[in-house]
Amino acid sequence: MTFEEAQQELEQIVQRLESGEAPLDEALKLWERGEELYRFCKERLDTAEGKIEELASRAEAAKP
Amino acid sequence: MKVEAIEYGDRKVFSVGAFNRGVASWLQRLPTVWVEGEVTELRRSERWASVFFTLKDPQDGSCLGVSMARGQFDALRLELADGDRVHAYGRPELFEARGEFRLRVLSLERFGLGEHLAALERLKAKLAAEGLFAAERKRPLPLLPARIGLVTGNDAAAKRDVLTAVTTRFPPANVLVAETYVQGPRAAGAVVEALRALCREGVDVVVVARGGGSFEDLLPFSDERLVRAIADCPVPVVSAVGHEQDTPLCDLAADVRASTPSVAGRLVVPDLAQLLERLDRSRAGLERGTRRSLERERRRLDGTHERLARAPRLLLERRRAKLEQSAGRLRTLSPKATLERGYAIVRAGEQIVRSGGAVQPGEHVDVELAEGGFGARVEETR
């Protein structure tokens, strides 16, 4: 799953929940799934380390 | 020129000189034509009657040796440098002493701005006809690229602008930079190679950035190989080449065109602060929505419960009402109501008297009224 897909699904879930049309069982399932998606997205942002690399030095480092 | 062959039995054999002369004289029958190419390996000496250089095909690298009378060449004052595009007018010629084939040039023109523009327009029309610039080919950029490829010159400005824009907007960005030639005859091939190398390493999007420059400086970015490589790139490409008013063909083939390297940098990453805010908003919505759902269900349950509790009392009331109704009807049917209207019941002994013949004169009867009654004696019967 990509970040975009997760974020999109999360926003759709929120919309469905806020419409108040979901029966309780579904609402609880949606909430669980939403939390999962939220954690996934948050993790993707938190674990990215942020680095600038030069291709030339990478190629150099890859040599045996 | 007559070419003599020596005969060995039935085999005709030519000397090298005779063979070369023969080929040379045959080549002279070919027409004089214009040839376009890039000048390389220019060799000129005061001691030589001719100048020599190689014409190179920028598309496929084919080479052609050229010679030109030094006097003629000098008179043109072209001041050619390596990589300059020229049109050469000449005919094929064999340098007999060495068996080398060359183009003997009679006239030479620098391929000027006008020609470049015309060639560019032709290439543009050709690639457009192939659909290379079509809007439906454009791919959307990934919202959150795991790694960004950057093709740029080692001139600091464009590279720095892209990197600054990227890391300001999205500090955790991951960028792989391929420094390459962005000017001169080797630029187009080098940029193509850099693109491929980045894709091999694995990137989600590529930015091709080059600062402004002269029309000639930006020509490699309209090179057919480079334009095709950008169109064929497996991941989306953002092109930020030159200034707003320059439109090198690579801009048309790219998925997104950015007016400057900074704009390109901002386009390829999301705004981290906004992204976090949006995520938190989603999470708040998640909680709010779920709570609302729960509360609504609880209210519904409470309502149902209340109705359940009310049910027996309701039943009782309904029964009581029905009973009242029956009592009312019973009352209308009782003789009491008839007596109230002024009627009387006459009894002889236990029997109710319904006709005159049922009693005898002088017989005692009881009369019942609405209120009380009295005893009476029958005077006469009818």
B35: exposed, middle or buried (C-beta count within 10 Å: 0-12, 13-18, 19+)? middle
CB atoms within 10 A of CB A9: 17
Report which DSSP code applies to B222. G
Q: Å from A64 to nearest chain B CA?
A: 17
Q: Which of B172, B272, B288 sits opposite A18 (nearest CB)?
A: B288
CB atoms within 10 A of CB B11: 8
Using an 8 Å CB-CB cutoff, list chain B residues near A11: 282
**pLDDT < 70: residue spans in chain B:** 1-3, 155-156, 244
pLDDT digits (tens, 9 = 90+) for B303-332: 888 888 888 888 888 888 998 888 888 777
pLDDT digits (tens, 9 = 90+) for A46-56: 877 788 888 87
The token pair at B229 is: 């490589």
Residue from A31, A52, A54, A58 to probe the interface with B (highest B Cβ count within 10 Å): A52
Look at residue A62 and tell me whether its pLDDT is greater than 70.
no
Contacts within 8 Å (CB) and 24+ apart, B115-121: B115/B85, B115/B87, B116/B85, B116/B215, B116/B216, B116/B219, B120/B222, B120/B249
pLDDT digits (tens, 9 = 90+) for B44-72: 999 999 999 999 988 788 999 999 999 99
What pLDDT, on a 0 to 100 scale, did the predictor assign at position B254?
Answer: 95
Q: Does ipTM come in above 0.95? A: no
CB contact under 8 A, B294 and A45: no
Look at residue A59 and tell me whether its pLDDT is greater than 70.
no
Using an 8 Å CB-CB cutoff, list chain B residues near A31: 286-287, 289-290
Look at residue A63 and tell me whether its pLDDT is greater than 70.
no
Beta strand B63-69 pairing with B100-110: parallel
Q: Which of B64, B62, B223, B241 is nearest to B150 (CA)?
A: B241
Q: Which of B167, B272, B279 sits opposite A38 (nearest CB)?
A: B279
Q: Å from B167 to nearest chain A CA?
A: 8
Q: What is the helix (H) or strand (E) element at residue B8, kind and residue range? A: strand B6-8
What pLDDT, on a 0 to 100 scale, did the predictor assign at position B1?
Answer: 53
CB contact under 8 A, B286 and A11: no
Using an 8 Å CB-CB cutoff, list chain A residues near B152: none
Hey, what domains does chain B have and what are their CATH numbers? 6-111 (2.40.50.140), 136-273 (3.40.50.2300), 337-377 (no CATH)
Phi/psi at B350 (5° precision): -90, -15
Residue with tokens 């009312």: B328
Q: Which of A3, A52, A59 sits opposite B143 (nearest CB)?
A: A3
Residue from A49, A55, A58 to probe the interface with B (highest B Cβ count within 10 Å): A55
- In angstroms, the CA B79 to CA B232 distance is 38
Q: What is the DSSP string of B19-32?
A: HHHHHHHHHTTSPP
Torsion sign over Cα B199, B201, B204, B206: negative
Q: Which of B176, B197, B289 sits opposite A53 (nearest CB)?
A: B176
- In angstroms, the CA B37 to CA B119 distance is 13
pLDDT digits (tens, 9 = 90+) for A20-48: 788 888 888 999 999 999 999 988 888 77
- In angstroms, the CA B225 to CA A35 distance is 48
Phi/psi at A62 (5° precision): -75, -15
Q: Is A10 on the interface with B (CB under 8 A)?
A: yes
Cα B282–Cα B286–Cα B292 angle in degrees, nearest 5: 140
CB contact under 8 A, B286 and A4: no
Are the CB atoms for B28 and B91 separated by under 8 Å?
yes
Q: Is A27 on the interface with B (CB under 8 A)?
A: yes
| Count of positions (residues) in chain A | 64
Q: Which of B209, B34, B257, B251 is nearest to B124 (CA)?
A: B251
Are the CB atoms for B179 and B152 separated by under 8 Å?
yes
Angle between helices A55-62 and B187-201 (to 10 degrees): 60
Are the CB atoms for B158 and B183 separated by under 8 Å?
no
Q: Which of B269, B230, B268 is nearest to B251 (CA)?
A: B230
